[in-house]
């Protein structure tokens, strides 16, 4: 069998077309637990209080953690700090980004509480037993309006919600090229 | 708990289930047939498509108790006597998959689409598979695979 100019059938396909593919969700490990995340329904809100007592008492629930629990290190493995940012252009301002919201949520869908349970159904049941008192704050939903002085500030330590300004290219060289061009199409 | 009796790929299983148990979880977690994938939990992606009494349905949108007394075919039951179903063969021949996650649902949906609609056009195939999403962006080859079985053009 030649390979040049031939359409080669993939060797891995037979298992996928017969339902024998192995995906993470198919793994059944000894002692496997399930996790569910309670997420913020608000775009921007202060978390006044979180009550997880009823969730913790539900049969089959193994553990419940809030963002504060992780940040303060209530677990024997210690405190879980903010997640580092891998992209660091000059002058970037990086807010502390925690695995779960601490004291305040900054976007709808942000994780607030996690439940670990013996089954996925129990973990999701427990989410319904968690009581969170939110104080909604003004949200920003428009990228340009967000950077105005009057816009609500999402992170207290970052004025105008601007993380960084990234400038590319050489303005002088570009201006000269346009000035000397035979034709300029459109406007800048 | 409620007792259900469901025939899957020719074998009848009688089990006690929670009334709220989704059919897809019955298939995957109770029977261990993990070929039927869950992609979205919200009935949008079609990865969990199976045949329920001859109809292609999204098994994340059916309760196991609703399938009591029904006959189900999953991707594992599509080949007969070690012989791939023509739709499975065609997906392989036409490179109609990459990661394979949407593939079981695509194949199960496509089988019923072709069975119920002789002389399908390419546009009809695309319309008929609207309820199945592929995130590898493999739609062109998927449509070619289905066309090859449908015999239309």
Encoded tokens for B68: 């009591």
pLDDT the model gives residue A6: 84
- Write out the two tokens for A121: 């159904």
What pLDDT does residue A141 have?
87
Q: Return all residues near B86 (Cβ < 8 A) that are at least 6 apart.
A: B149
Query: What are the residues facing A65 on neighbouring strands?
Result: A114
pLDDT of B150 over the 80 cut = yes
CA–CA min distance B34, chain A (Å): 6
| Residues on chain A touching B76 (C-beta within 8 angstroms) | 18-20
ipTM of the complex: 0.94
When the pLDDT of each residue in chain A is averaged and rounded to a whole number, the result is: 92
- Residue A67, beta-bridge partner list: none
Q: Is B148 in contact with B93 (CB distance < 8 Å)?
A: yes
A91 shares contact with chain B (CB less than 8 Å): no
Neighbours of B93 (CB within 10 A): 15
Helix (H), strand (E) counts: chain B = 5, 5
Is the torsion defined by CA of A50, A56, A60, A63 positive or negative? positive
How distant, in Å, are the alpha carbons of A117, B53, B109 from that of A36? 8, 33, 30
| Mean pLDDT confidence for A140-163 | 90
Which pTM value belongs to this model? 0.83
With beta carbons under 8 A apart, name residues in chain A contacting B100. 12-13, 15-17, 21
Which residue of chain A is at minimal alpha-carbon distance from B39? A25
pLDDT tens readout for residues A1-41: 578 888 889 999 999 999 999 999 999 899 999 999 999 99
- Contact state of B104 with A26 under an 8 Å Cβ cutoff: no
**Does the pLDDT value for residue B152 go beyond 60?**
no
CB–CB of A151/A140 below 8 Å?
yes
Name the phi and psi angles at B49, rounded to 5. Answer: -65, 130
With a cut of 70, say whether residue B153 has pLDDT above it.
no
Instruction: Say how far apart CA B149 and CA B90 lie, in whole Å.
Output: 7
B21: chain A residues, CB-CB within 8 Å:
121
Strand partners, B55: B52
Q: Does B40 touch chain A (CB under 8 A)?
A: no
Instruction: Specify the 3-state DSSP secondary structure of B141.
Output: helix
Q: How far apart are CA A122 and CA A25, in angstroms?
A: 17
Q: Per-residue pLDDT averaged across A120-146, rounded?
A: 95
């Amino acid at each position: 069998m030649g390979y040049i100019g031939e359409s080669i059938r993939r060797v891995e396909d037979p298992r996928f077309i017969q339902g024998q593919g192995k995906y993470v969700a198919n793994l059944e490990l000894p002692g496997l637990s399930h996790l569910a995340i309670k997420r913020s329904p608000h775009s921007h809100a202060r978390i006044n209080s979180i009550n997880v007592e009823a969730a913790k008492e539900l049969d089959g629930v193994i553990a419940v953690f809030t963002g504060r629990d992780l940040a303060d290190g209530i677990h024997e493995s210690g405190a879980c700090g903010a997640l580092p940012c891998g992209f660091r252009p000059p002058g970037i301002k990086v807010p502390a980004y925690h695995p779960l919201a601490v004291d305040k949520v900054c976007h709808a869908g942000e994780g607030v509480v996690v439940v670990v349970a013996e089954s996925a159904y129990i973990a999701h049941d427990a989410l319904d037993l968690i009581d969170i008192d939110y104080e909604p704050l003004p949200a920003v939903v428009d990228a340009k309006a967000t950077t105005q002085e009057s816009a609500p500030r999402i992170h207290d330590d970052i004025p105008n919600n601007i993380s960084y300004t990234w400038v590319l290219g050489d303005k002088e060289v570009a201006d000269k090229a346009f000035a000397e061009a035979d034709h300029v199409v459109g406007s800048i | 708990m409620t007792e259900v009796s469901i025939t899957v790929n020719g074998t009848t299983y009688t089990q006690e289930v929670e009334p709220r148990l989704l059919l897809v979880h019955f298939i995957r977690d109770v029977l261990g047939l993990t070929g039927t994938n869950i992609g979205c939990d919200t009935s949008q992606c079609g990865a969990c498509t199976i045949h329920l009494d001859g109809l292609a349905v999204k098994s994340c949108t059916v309760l196991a108790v609703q399938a009591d007394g029904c006959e189900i075919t999953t991707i594992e039951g599509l080949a007969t006597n070690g012989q791939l179903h023509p739709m499975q063969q065609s997906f392989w021949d036409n490179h109609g998959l990459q990661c394979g996650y949407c593939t079981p649902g695509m194949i199960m949906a496509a089988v019923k689409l072709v069975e119920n609609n002789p002389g399908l056009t390419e546009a009809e195939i695309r319309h008929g598979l609207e309820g199945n999403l592929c995130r590898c962006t493999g739609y062109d080859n998927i449509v070619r695979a289905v066309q090859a079985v449908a015999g239309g053009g």
